[in-house]
Structures are given as C-alpha cells and as structure tokens.
Amino acid sequence: MVFIVLRFLWRGVKKKPVHKLLNFTPMSKIINLFLAFCVLMGFVGCKTGNQWLKLPIEPSQQTLLWEISGKNLKQPSYIFGTFHLLCKEDLVWSENLKKAFAASQKLYLEMDLDEVSNTMGALFCMNMKGNKTLKDFYTPEEYKRIETYFKDSLKMPFAMLNKFKPLMLESLLYPGLMKCKAMSGVEEGLMKFAKEQKKDVEGFENIQFQCAVFDSVPYEIQAKGLLRTIDSLATYKAEFNTMLQLYKTQQLGLLDSLLNRQNETTGASMDILLYNRNKNWVAQMKNLMPKAGLFVAVGAGHLPGPQGVLQLLRKEGYSVKPIKNL
C-alpha cells in the first residue's frame, strides 16, 4: 500500500513545493489516489528494468476497456481500468471508449471524488491514531534520514507531517517518479465527460471505508515500507516506470503477474486492499446494472486475475468481452 498525497498534480499544475500544493488539494481525492497507488505499487515485490516486458502477452488481455452483457441485463455496461494520475500527454481517450461512455447512463468510480462528505471526512484520515508520531517507529538515525529527505528533496517542513500515516508520506514520493511537468487525473477526465453529458457520478466506497483500509495495515509495517522506499528510491522508480509502461501498453495479464509477486509488506493485506474490495464492487454492480447501463472506472490492478473484477463478473454469469481501446 503506498501513496499519493497529491491529487494536486491532476489539474496540470506545474511542480511546486509539495506543502503548497497540498493546500489546494481536496483530501478525498488524495485518499482515493493514495489507496489506488497502494494497490498498484506499494504491495508489489516486482523486479526492475524490462524483465516483465519480456513475458508472453495474452492478446485478449491487452485492453483496458471491457463490455459486460448477458444474464438479466437489458443493455450492456462497461468497465475501464484506470491509472489514477498520468502525464497529461499520455491521457488519450479512444473512440470506442467515448462511444461506450456515451451509451452509459451513470459513471461509477471507486469513490465519488466531489462528494462533500468524502472531502470533509478525509481530513480525519491523514494522521495516525493513538497520538502516534513517526518517532515512535524509527531509531533516531532512521528518523533523521527521513526528515532530511523530505526537507532537502521535497522542500517540505517536516513538522507538519510527523503524525501522518507512513503510507501517506510514501505517496509524496510519487511526483518525482513522473517525468512530466503537468499531470492529469483519469477519473477527473471521466467526471468532466459526465458533467458535459449530464450523467450521474457515484462511488462504490466512501471515505470512511477507505480510511479503514489504511488503518488495517499496522503502522510498523507502513513505517518499514517508507524507510525502505527512501533508501532505495532508484529501484522504486524503476518499478513504477515498469508499472506505468504495462498500463500504457494495456497489458493487464502482466499487470496481474506483477501484482501477485508479494513482498514482506503484503502478506494477507492483498485481501484487504484488492480482493475483498473487488467482491464488494461486483456485488453492487449486480444490483445496479439491471437498472441502468454503467460506465465503471476503477484501478487497472483490480481487473485481471482469478480474483479480479472481470473473472468475478464471469462467475456471476455475465459475458465479459474485451473492447479495442486504441
């Protein structure tokens, strides 16, 4: 689980000191991005470099857009795998995606990022419980390394972060991994489409649920992950770029292989971060899809694999077929 106190980048803002950008970022969007990043990066013990790109690719998995039909559905719904922040130039909408979106009645995201209650609730989600501080989890030397990194590399006043959950802090490393001056949010783009087409926007989860997910991972494990990432940032950057490349080439099969290479940070937490949430979303979709055609947009890491959303939908009796997304 790992990251993103920075939806501040999604409106194409030029890079500024992180503490200034945080002042303009709705907390609900930070939380949602952070949780998504955790699924894609923090609990992945992936190899670096291009090793993953040499694995065989299953052509049927090489898309991010899928049509859901059959069973008791009068019209199809669609599901799209997102990568919650991209360089602005990488955010491209295919004609098939635009057609699928136009044919749907509602947009469903992991969480409604503009819901007021989510925005307000997120303010209580950033800090550790029990009046804990980072000093409770590190030796003086380790704490100094982390403090120095945030002050020198991110130009952040560390005092304002001392009670933050370590996973939240780890997310602040995200901007430095992206080789672009401006970023865009995939969900933000879809929400813009929805507004233009006067479609309702809903979320499968609320901020209370997502905060509970963060708290389910012991702070000791979170703290260990933050320190490890700072100490091996070059490796972390290579892993991230591999993940991004898999997404941009729409290789869901490889993405699933990568996600299943658990490291010591993961353990049973994949059930909490990924699999249990997948089951919950499919249960909601079963009730919603007979009433209206949905366009569902969730993190791409949730889609593939035996416990992914696509396979769970098939087990429920739906036909799930890939749609070319070029």
- What are the extents of the domains in the chain? 7-323
Q: Please, what sign has the CA dihedral across residues 273, 277, 279, 281? A: negative
76 neighbors 102 (Cβ within 8 angstroms): no
- pLDDT, averaged per 10 consecutive residues of the chain (326 residues), comes to 34 42 48 57 39 45 92 96 86 96 97 66 78 96 94 82 88 77 85 96 88 84 90 84 88 77 52 88 98 96 92 97 94
The number of beta carbons lying within 10 Å of the beta carbon of residue 58 is: 13
pTM score, two decimals? Answer: 0.83
| Nearest of 198, 204, 200 to residue 285 by alpha carbon | 204
Query: CB neighbours (10 Å) of residue 71?
Result: 13
> 302 near 39, Cβ under 8 Å?
yes
Q: Of 174, 178, 173, 150, which is closest to residue 162 (Cα–Cα)?
A: 150
> For residue 198, what pLDDT is reported?
97
What local confidence, expressed as pLDDT, does residue 51 receive? Answer: 42
Quote the pLDDT of residue 3. Answer: 30
What is the per-residue pLDDT for 47?
36
- Residue keyed to tokens 């970023």: 183
Contact 108, 296 (CB under 8 A): yes
